[in-house]
């Protein structure tokens, strides 16, 4: 079989997606790549791992040629909060990285998974039940790269017949690898702090509602869209996905059911608050449900229970 490539494999989603794909397709068939961060022993020892810079065309092409890659899961990206402190780097990694991946895919006939985000929406977007096709005037640099990335991926499909597909991820909650530099990161940090210190200071206001999802559903979505029957797809890229949504206050209440002493306080970071305020509360994911059978397995209560169990175990060890 042609091999699969994961970029950003040391990141929050990439690290788990690589292992998920290795379980499914065989360790040697999934090539993991990262930028500078050291990979975990598990990632490094379970299959091929290489360092590349996605904004360097030749480095992307060399890997695709060396391993005869047929599908690229392109996870490498700079997230929203870091994107505001380093907008030029965010543009370089997110846009030039995606452009290089798409160009290499065009030349070497590879399929590409392109993750977009709730960040592709903006303040003028309808906040509740956000439609699949709607106004997208993103105001963060990360969001700008996500809107442009969605359009570029659609363009490569229409113009060059590159098999691009993708989803709009909400905030992803997981216990393996910490997220780095995003606005939804609080929803992961809160679990670590609740278990370790029984208190957490949140950088978003208590009533900031955002769409979120548990990692196992995010992984399933990536593989399901890439293996979907293309004759049923009316959209290709940027399918809205929805699992559950909550505010920091609501999440803290759920955690208190398991850790009654837990206390949340707030010290608002205006940069991340502005970003969060420009994103939807809850996306309408009916296109994903109709076109490729998307359906999440974890609701909010199940996620909280599983996170606390798994993370408590992890932090003991």
Number of residues binding to ligand SER, judged by CB under 6 A: 11
Residue nearest to ligand SER (CB): 182
Question: Which position among 125, 164, 177, 184 is part of the footprint of ligand SER (CB under 6 A)?
Answer: 184
Question: Which position among 7, 71, 80, 278 is part of the footprint of ligand SER (CB under 6 A)?
Answer: 80
Comparing CB distances to ligand SER, the nearer of 10 and 63 is 10
Per-residue string for binding with ligand SER, 281-300, x by CB under 6 A?
Answer: --------------------
Comparing CB distances to ligand SER, the nearer of 119 and 219 is 119
φ, ψ of residue 272 to 5 degrees: the values are -70, -30
Pick the catalytic residue from 67, 73, 142, 186.
142
Tell me whether residue 142 is one of the annotated catalytic residues: yes
Question: What is the smallest separation between the CB atom of 240 and ligand SER, expressed in angstroms?
Answer: 13
Q: How far apart, in Å, are the Cα atoms of 44 and each of 37, 73, 103?
A: 12, 18, 27
Question: Residue 8 contacts by C-beta under 8 Å, 6 or more apart in sequence?
Answer: 14, 33, 34, 35, 54, 74, 75, 76, 77
Q: Is 302 helix (H, G, I), strand (E, B) or coil?
A: helix
Least Cα distance to 180 among 52, 305, 15 occurs for 15
Separation CA 181–CA 188 (nearest Å):
12
Question: Which position among 79, 212, 264, 287 is part of the footprint of ligand SER (CB under 6 A)?
Answer: 79
Contact 18, 12 (CB under 8 A): no
The two beta strands, 167-169 and 116-117, are parallel
Question: Which position among 8, 14, 39, 171 is part of the footprint of ligand SER (CB under 6 A)?
Answer: 171
Give strand ranges (E) for the chain: 3-7, 30-34, 49-51, 69-74, 111-113, 116-117, 128-130, 164-165, 167-169, 171-173, 199-202, 210-214, 239-240, 244-246, 263-266, 282-283
Per-residue string for binding with ligand SER, 107-146, x by CB under 6 A?
Answer: ----------xxx----------------------x----
Question: Which position among 14, 34, 47, 182 is part of the footprint of ligand SER (CB under 6 A)?
Answer: 182
Question: What is the smallest separation between the CB atom of 47 and ligand SER, expressed in angstroms?
Answer: 26
Tell me the helix, strand and coil percentages in the chain, rounded to 5: 50, 15, 35
Both structure tokens of 301? 């209560």
Q: What is the dihedral of CA 88, 90, 92, 96, to 10 degrees?
A: -150
Of 55-63, 177-185, 261-269, 285-293, the segment contacting ligand SER by CB under 6 A is 177-185
Give strand ranges (E) for 75-180: 111-113, 116-117, 128-130, 164-165, 167-169, 171-173
Of 33-41, 181-189, 245-253, 298-306, the segment contacting ligand SER by CB under 6 A is 181-189
Note whether 149 binds ligand SER by CB under 6 A. Answer: no
Question: What is the smallest separation between the CB atom of 27 and ligand SER, expressed in angstroms?
Answer: 28
Question: Which position among 174, 183, 208, 245 is part of the footprint of ligand SER (CB under 6 A)?
Answer: 183
Question: What is the smallest separation between the CB atom of 14 and ligand SER, expressed in angstroms?
Answer: 13
Both structure tokens of 137? 């005037």
Question: What is the smallest separation between the CB atom of 185 and ligand SER, expressed in angstroms?
Answer: 6
Question: What is the smallest separation between the CB atom of 118 and ligand SER, expressed in angstroms?
Answer: 6
List residues binding ligand SER (CB under 6 A). 79-80, 117-119, 142, 169, 171, 182-184
Task: Give the catalytic positions in this structure.
Answer: 142
């Amino acid at each position: 079989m042609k091999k699969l490539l994961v970029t950003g494999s040391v990141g929050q989603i990439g690290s788990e997606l690589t292992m998920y794909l290795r379980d499914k397709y065989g360790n040697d068939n999934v090539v993991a790549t990262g930028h500078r961060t050291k990979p975990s022993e598990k990632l490094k020892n379970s299959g091929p791992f290489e360092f590349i810079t996605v904004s360097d065309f030749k480095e992307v092409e060399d890997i695709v040629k060396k391993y005869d890659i047929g599908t690229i899961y392109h996870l490498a990206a700079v997230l929203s909060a870091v994107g505001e402190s380093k907008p030029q780097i965010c543009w370089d990694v997110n846009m030039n990285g995606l452009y290089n991946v798409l160009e290499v895919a065009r030349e070497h006939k590879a399929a590409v998974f392109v993750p977009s985000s709730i960040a592709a929406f903006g303040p003028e977007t309808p906040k509740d039940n956000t439609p699949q096709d709607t106004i997208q005037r993103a105001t963060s640099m990360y969001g700008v790269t996500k809107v442009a990335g969605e359009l570029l991926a659609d363009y490569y499909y229409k113009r060059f017949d590159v098999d691009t597909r993708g989803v709009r991820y909400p905030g992803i909650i997981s216990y393996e690898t910490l997220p780095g530099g995003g606005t939804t990161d609080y929803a992961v940090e809160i679990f670590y702090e609740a278990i370790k210190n029984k208190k957490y200071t949140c950088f978003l206001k208590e009533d900031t509602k955002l769409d979120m999802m548990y990692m196992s559903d995010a992984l399933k979505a990536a593989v399901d869209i890439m293996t979907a029957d293309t004759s049923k797809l009316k959209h290709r890229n940027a399918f809205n996905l929805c699992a559950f949504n909550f505010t920091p206050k609501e999440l803290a209440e759920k955690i208190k059911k398991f850790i009654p002493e837990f206390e949340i306080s707030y010290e608002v970071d205006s940069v991340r608050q502005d970003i969060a305020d420009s994103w939807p509360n809850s996306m309408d994911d009916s296109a994903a449900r109709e076109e490729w059978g998307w359906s999440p397995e974890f609701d909010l209560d199940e996620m909280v229970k599983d996170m606390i169990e798994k993370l408590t175990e992890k932090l003991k060890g």
